[in-house]
């Protein structure tokens, strides 16, 4: 029988190891950027959320930041520059800090 490969991180055989999956889940997935609109105003764009999470988070962010915004095509657009505030709000909503990237 061939020797089993052991994961150096968790000590489990490679076939039982979930480190790669955990890495993926912990990887940055929410991106917060700002964009100029065609009316020369700034909006904050949050991408990386999908489905119900997108709609729900858009609603929560608008409430927390008291600003207007929309959720469409997989992104949340908020009126104004709220990059840092959005990050704080997302953490408040339960998203891990590590998963939020400010660009």
With binding defined as CB under 5 A, does residue 22 bind Zn ion?
no
* Tokens 């608008």 -> residue: 62
SS (H, E, C) 16-57: CCCHHHHHHHHCCCEEEEEEECCCCCEEEEEECCCHHHHHHH
With binding defined as CB under 5 A, does residue 17 bind Zn ion?
yes
- Residue in the shown chain whose Cβ atom is closest to Zn ion: 7
- Backbone angles phi and psi of 82, in degrees to 5: -125, 25
Pairing of strands 75-79, 30-36: unpaired
Contact 4, 17 (CB under 8 A): no
> Which one of residues 4, 6, 9, 63 is an interface residue with Zn ion (CB under 5 A)?
9
* Interaction mask 42-81, Zn ion, x per CB under 5 A: ----------------------------------------
Min CB(26)–Zn ion separation in Å: 13
Min CB(24)–Zn ion separation in Å: 13
Residues contributing to the site for Zn ion (CB under 5 A): 7, 9-10, 17, 19
């Amino acid at each position: 029988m061939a020797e089993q490969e052991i994961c150096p991180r968790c000590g489990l055989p490679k076939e039982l190891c979930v480190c790669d999956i955990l890495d993926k889940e912990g990887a940055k997935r929410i991106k917060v950027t700002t964009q100029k609109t065609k009316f020369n105003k700034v909006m904050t764009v949050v991408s990386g959320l999908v489905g119900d999470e997108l709609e729900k988070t858009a609603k929560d962010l608008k409430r927390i930041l008291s600003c207007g915004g929309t959720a469409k095509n997989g992104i949340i657009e908020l009126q104004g520059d709220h990059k840092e505030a959005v990050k704080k709000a997302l953490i408040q909503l339960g998203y891990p800090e590590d998963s939020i990237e400010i660009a």
